[in-house]
Amino acid sequence: MEACTVAAIHEGIEAARLVHEWSRRPEAETYTVRGPDGVAAGFYTLIELGGAPPPGGPDDPAVRAACGWLDAYGELRGDETALLVRFWMSRDEYQAVSPVQTLITLRLTHHYLTGRQPAVTLLPFADPEFWEPGCAYVDFARLPAADFTSGGHRFGMFVHDWRRVPGLAWLAMLTERERAEDPFAVAPPAPSGPLRVLDREVFAAAVRDALREFARPDGLRDSPLLETRLVAGRCAADAVDGTGARERVAALRDAIRAAAAALEESPPDRRAFRALHHTYLRPAGTQARAAELLRLPMTTYRRHLAAGIGRLTELLWQEELEGGGPEAP
């Protein structure tokens, strides 16, 4: 395996062994960068992590350090995962600035922002002091608590939490920094208050409350959902001034409407959507009146309504964990 050879050159036999062992694990994926001649010019390995090392995986000091921090401070919920960039290097320049390093950086950005989006990205460097200004530029914070030693080499860890600064807000920050005379004068985007990391049960209760208040013009202004990734990911990066609260309420309404629209477009969910629609989105006034409009017995109406609330909550929770809009099967 070419990646093992490159790893052995720069980080030793132990690194080559770990690259090989991770290549056989479902949590990990190794990507090779090739030159015009088809020969490996570099590679990177990504590992999807929870709060504990994968059962049966190799004994890897980087994974132990990352999972130790995630378990203590990462606040991963439900199906949330972290993405550890376990290895990344150029064959000829290792981790120095180079065309291969640039291409790996671009590919990593694609991984961060598309597909199954991680809650947190952890990125180690063999020379953290050299890379610290560059990491600060892209809002990756130094994380000494997750530093590790492997094969006699010491690595410094950096972290970005996508729940607190979601992808679109992050890209908006980078755009502004690119334009600015002093890039670091452009502060990382921050909500008007710290983002709340709600567990599944609290999140579901907040969705039910938001539905009950949805029809009132000011009904969502106190919702705890306003301080979640669900809403932050739909807001502009600079929504921190006096208009931020209004924008967040509008974003929450949009999120609920989008999830409801996904249910309407899904044939198995259509009856549940109709009950939801006539009860909360365009309320008939009373549940009895909503059941009458739908020509349903009260018991059937309530069953459809409970299904609608449950499915809407699932879609919003999916967006909270993964980012992106809701998708109903």
**Per-residue confidence (pLDDT) for residue 263, from 0 to 100:** 96
Residues of the chain with pLDDT under 50: 192, 237-243
**Per-residue confidence (pLDDT) for residue 236, from 0 to 100:** 55
**Per-residue confidence (pLDDT) for residue 116, from 0 to 100:** 78
Q: How far apart are CA 220 and CA 234, in angstroms?
A: 16
Q: Mention every residue, 6+ apart, whose C-beta is less than 8 A from residue 12.
A: 151, 152, 153
In sequence order, the β-bridge partners of residue 161 are 120
**Per-residue confidence (pLDDT) for residue 193, from 0 to 100:** 53
3-state secondary structure of 22: helix
Domain boundaries, the chain: 2-162, 200-322
CATH class of the domain defined by 2-162: alpha beta
Query: pLDDT tens digit string along 286-329?
Result: 999 999 999 999 999 999 999 999 999 999 998 888 765 555 55
Checking DSSP bridges between strand 120-125 and strand 153-161, what pairing results, if any? Answer: antiparallel
Helix H, strand E, coil C: the string for 150-186 is ECCEEEEEEEEECCCCCHHHHHHHHHHHHHCCCHHHC
pTM: 0.68
**Per-residue confidence (pLDDT) for residue 166, from 0 to 100:** 83
Task: Please list, residue by residue across 124-144, b when 16 or more beta carbons sit within 10 angstroms of its beta carbon and e when fewer do.
Answer: bbbebeebbeebeebbbebbe
The pair of structure tokens assigned to 295 is 């020509």
Amino acid identity of residue 252, one-letter, is L
Query: pLDDT tens digit string along 252-291?
Result: 999 999 999 999 999 999 999 999 999 999 999 899 999 9
**Per-residue confidence (pLDDT) for residue 137, from 0 to 100:** 94
